[in-house]
Structure 1
């Protein structure tokens, strides 16, 4: 996509040139990369819970897990950017990097960390199922992207299934911690949209960035804040911290905060934000399934049924057409 922002086409899916070799289309590659990103992100909630523990049995402070993971990932990203000799971002790109960081580095991890100390990982995973709708809605609002009515109906159906599951599991009411989870969802969706936007060209002032460089520069730009904050909130006594908690911390730092975005941002850029974001509807159920061996939480037949229904909405949404935005 080479149009300037004023003529941005809604959620475009690049086409393969006529003389290009046969293979997977950009849309399919985008969807598969998005699915890989979701699989990697699915461990974020269980691993965050493993790292921070609960209010009754705390491990690492939630603030340290949220900020420390970004600091560690930022140091790794800085080394990688030097190794590949990445180009320095333009002023317009720096603004986008700061906006992205506000969501994926600070907002989402902090609110999620506070929430998972108050509710089980399975509950947090289900409420986080609203993230695809938040991403699609924010993309439509901030980037003037449009989808067909059928697409929005399909997305709303998936959201309804997730909310219905949360209410059923929560005894027909939402818990107080759900407010923290909803804040995490909004910040996460905002960070996804801003980061994916940097992966598409926006004219001479904002050329496209390689998706893996987007998250790396986001983390490096955050280091002046995350490094001192991580040192400040680091636990003074780590004798009580289990090795498993440190393992959870390393995962959310290296994979959830950095490597997972390599696949996710490239998938959003290739397949389109509105379409690929809906793949994340299956993430809550993957998180719950992975929480079984990690945290000992059970998954019943009803959960499997909800998962299959949500997956069906994802498959349908992927096939629905996108409409260009009004120029």
Structure 2
């Protein structure tokens, strides 16, 4: 009896153990019904877990290179995904704030460096910062099909815009140079419509054109409206920057924004490093606090951080809508000019600010 009881107990323990494991191994102990129930429970629980943890799939990231992530955050464990619109608007807005400090910082930088030296050194420093991030993150090289777009970004926002605006600021005030920023949102939206094939609504275009007109009239009225060589530099900067913004915004949907500007900077590093060596020997250098701070900001703040959050914001809310946030940039630049450079704030600034903010609100709500 003891031997039979022991054998029965052993079989009971085996059936219980294998049944709790939730596998089909319980069939071997003659407990097929129990094992089947356990297996079904696990299957149901697995299906429920998969439903709970799988968020909506973003197909915009499937064409990206290995290791690329979508500009918006991944879904969390509950399957919820934050609305990209407020976050994208915030990121693009931070980019606008960073860009609004570019002209005053460039004026400070010109106290210590010549125009060619300032542009070459700022790009070299920004490329070194970007390269450090890329190395630490072990980011693989972009796919071959992305290099042409990165070259457009490099030529537009790394070389073209900084060089042309720096040359313009030698003879133009910061308020006059803000004219190019007043036209930039409209030009970027036009470039994006041609490049991506997306056609914003009539309401969007009406608000965008209205905002551009307000900014142009305001800035030209304050600067006297005279056309000079500096204006030609500014108009050239407008075109190349709009192209760089559009292409960068498109690439930021395929790879993180900081990688877009990072690889564009790395692409320019050999040229900018050689340019720095030549320009620093030709142009005089008179270091002071303003010059060093101005150089540091245009290199790290405007060129790297500003473009990083800007491209990420454009990827989230779209190039046309993000571009219209820049309608506020000339007014922010005027504020920094008063605060940092001691310029007098025009009385028309509050009126223009309200009008521009209304136009921005319309473009953000319009179908794009």
TM-score by length of 2: 0.77
SS in 2 for 1:2: helix
Give the whole-Å Cα distance in 2 for the aligned partners of 1:26 and 1:93: 24
Give the whole-Å Cα distance in 1 for the aligned partners of 2:357 and 2:120: 33
Give the whole-Å Cα distance in 1 for the aligned partners of 2:357 and 2:228: 26
Deviation at 1:177, TM superposition (A): 1.3
SS in 1 for 2:60: coil
Change (3 A) 1:150 1:176: same
Deviation at 1:211, TM superposition (A): 0.9
Which structure would you say has the larger Rg? 2
- The equivalent residue for 2:350 is 304
Give the whole-Å Cα distance in 1 for the aligned partners of 2:184 and 2:89: 17
Matched, 1:75 2:128: yes
Change (3 A) 1:95 1:288: same
For structure 1, the residue ranges without an aligned partner over 5 or more in a row are: 6-12, 54-58, 201-207, 323-327
- Where does 1:144-293 land on structure 2 (aligned, <5 Å)? 144-200=197-253, 208-235=254-281, 240-293=286-339
What count of residue pairs does the alignment treat as equivalent? 303
Matched, 1:136 2:193: no
Instruction: Check the 8 A contact 1:158/1:313 in 2, yes or no.
Output: yes
Give the whole-Å Cα distance in 2 for the aligned partners of 1:224 and 1:260: 22
SS in 1 for 2:148: helix
Give the whole-Å Cα distance in 2 for the aligned partners of 1:257 and 1:153: 31
Give the whole-Å Cα distance in 1 for the aligned partners of 2:285 and 2:167: 22
SS in 1 for 2:348: helix
Change (3 A) 1:4 1:213: closer
Deviation at 1:232, TM superposition (A): 0.9
- The equivalent residue for 2:94 is 36
Change (3 A) 1:235 1:157: farther
Work out which of the residue numbers 177, 187, 194 in structure 2 matches 1:124. 177
* Higher fraction of helix: 2
Instruction: Check the 8 A contact 2:218/2:348 in 1, yes or no.
Output: no
RMSD: 2.5
Deviation at 1:149, TM superposition (A): 0.7
- The equivalent residue for 2:60 is 2
Give the whole-Å Cα distance in 2 for the aligned partners of 1:61 and 1:257: 18
Give the whole-Å Cα distance in 1 for the aligned partners of 2:206 and 2:250: 24
SS in 2 for 1:234: helix
Instruction: Check the 8 A contact 1:63/1:233 in 2, yes or no.
Output: yes
Deviation at 1:235, TM superposition (A): 4.9
Structure 1 stretch 168-177 or stretch 75-84: which is displaced more?
168-177
Work out which of the residue numbers 100, 105, 108 in structure 2 matches 1:50. 108
- The equivalent residue for 1:205 is none
Give the whole-Å Cα distance in 1 for the aligned partners of 2:61 and 2:259: 21
- The equivalent residue for 2:12 is none
